[in-house]
Structure formats: C-alpha cells, structure tokens
Structure 1
C-alpha cells in the first residue's frame, strides 16, 4: 500500500467510524437493557469491504470504543464493557473478507452481523445471566442461553435486515465505491 493509499485509508476510516457513531444516535427502537435498531453498522461494513478485514477490524474496534464512551454503556462490570462494546463491534470488520467482490457488501453484512451477534449472545448468556427475567416475549425462560438468543436476535436480526436494505438501495449508485474501484 502506498503512502497516499495509507493516508486515504486512515482518513476514510475515521470518517466512516464518525458516520457510524452519528448514525447510532438514530435509534428506531431501543431495548431496556441495551441493543437498538440503528443504521450504524453500514459505514463500518462498507469501509471493511473497501479496505479489507484487517483495516475493518480496527474500524470496528474504534466504533466499539466510541459506543462504550457515548452510548450510555449498558454494562455491569468490565466483562460486559469488553464483550458488549470493545469485542462486539470488532467482527463487523470481517466483512472485509469479501473485499472487491460483486456481492461483497451483502455477504460481508451477513458475516459481520453474525459475528457481532455471536459475541453479544455469549456475553448475554454468561455476564447478563443473573438478570434473566422469568418471562420474555410471553415465554418462560429456563436457561440464560435461550434468553440471550431471543434477546440479542430481537435487535440483531432487524439490524442485519436494515443494513442489507440500505446497502441494496445504495448499491447501484455507489457500486464503484463499494467495490473499491476508485482506490488506486
């Protein structure tokens, strides 16, 4: 990577992380113990499919750090801070595995969102298990693993769908940008 491209990548990464942070305040709904529906994941995913998974992981980590600082931090202890913020947004960068591929933004979204879901799921079942209600969505909760699955899927599935829909709407006019064709 040339010095020009490194500078461009860093500047683009900073702008995409900032865009994600601003978009994270557009909450379509928010659950009582954290988790919300926002369009915030798309800039990190787009950055990742343009510059690759290594740069994407760093952008995801930076976004997670900003979320920890500015999103109210629904955290009970250091385990939750590390898991639900610093680690959970990191997998969005895995979208970069599909760098330069025609359908990369879609497959990258699925991979990144799945990775984020898995981390929230494990943290929810281990760290948040003590706060499991007896009933959730009208179902009796018997295990924290099932509760974490339902709770985290209730916002991660809609987030994934929202990100895919926005990517689909932007794909045709921004195809060169999504594919990284403008990077020399």
Structure 2
C-alpha cells in the first residue's frame, strides 16, 4: 500500500502540478501503478529476513539485491511502455520510440537500481539490526 499511496501523492504533487501527466490513463499508469509495482521486491523479503537474522550477510545481500532488481524492473517496465505509448511523440526526429524510451527510462532505472543497492548494501554492513524487528521476529507483511 505504501507504493500506491506514494504514487497518488506523487501524481498530485509532482505529476499534475509539474505538467507530467498527459492524460488520465498515463497518469494512473506511471504513478500509482508503477509505484505500487515496486512492492514486488517483497517476493524476496522472507528469505532476506531469515538470512539477516542468521547473520548470513552474503545471502541477505543476494536476496536484497534480487528484490531490488525485481522491483525496479517492474516499475520501470511500466515507465518504458508508457514512454513508447504516451511519450513517443517527444522523441527526437528520426529516433525510434522504443530506443528513445529505453534510453530515457533505462538510464533512470539503472541509476535507481545502483543507488538502492549501494544504500542497502551499506546499511546491511553497518546496521543490519535495522532490518529485523526488535522482538527478533520478522516484520509482518500481512495486513493487521
């Protein structure tokens, strides 16, 4: 839900306000849906938690990095498709819209992925306790 809420807020505050919404479908696709899809990185969460609790830093890093790559790919795949469908008209003359979208959205995806991997990697090294609940149990991914 956090990604969905963030997507709605970003849509309202930056998307509509910043002129980045071309039409309702594009706005919904690139904001609430794309940001919600980041949540698929939770597919590796249980294994990541188990590795962190077991002080298996290499294993935990692997699960974290896999989750980051999955979540980032899911989000930016939506942006890539929207880039082709909605933003293709803004491609420089003679540039293939698929290539244009891949360059624009791929660059952003690569930067986001690398930055997230670095931050999570540093946090796993210096403060792994941030990823484990105080009671020693894993954080719940189920609704309360």
Fold match, TM over 0.5?
A: yes
* Alignment root-mean-square deviation, CA: 1.9
**In structure 2, what is the equivalent of residue 83 of structure 1?**
29
**Per-residue deviation at 1:94?**
0.7
Q: Which has the larger radius of gyration?
A: 2
**Per-residue deviation at 1:179?**
4.7
So what's the TM-score if we normalise by structure 1?
0.60
For 1:121 and 1:171, the matched residues in 2 are separated by: 31
**In structure 2, what is the equivalent of residue 165 of structure 1?**
118
Structure 2: 5+ residue stretches without partners: 49-59, 140-144
For 2:107 and 2:9, the matched residues in 1 are separated by: 23
**In structure 1, what is the equivalent of residue 2 of structure 2?**
59
**Per-residue deviation at 1:178?**
2.1
Q: Which has the higher strand share?
A: 1
C-alpha contact (below 8 Å) 2:132/2:138 kept by paired residues: no
Residues 53-110 of structure 1 show CA distances to partners (whole Å, capped at 9, x for unaligned) of xxxxx11111111111122351101122011111111111011111132233221111
**In structure 2, what is the equivalent of residue 93 of structure 1?**
39
Relative to 1, partners in 2 of residues 1:67 and 1:120: Cα closer, same or farther, differing over 3 Å? same
For 1:178 and 1:91, the matched residues in 2 are separated by: 21
So what's the TM-score if we normalise by structure 2?
0.75
Structure 1: 5+ residue stretches without partners: 1-57, 135-139
Relative to 1, partners in 2 of residues 1:179 and 1:108: Cα closer, same or farther, differing over 3 Å? farther
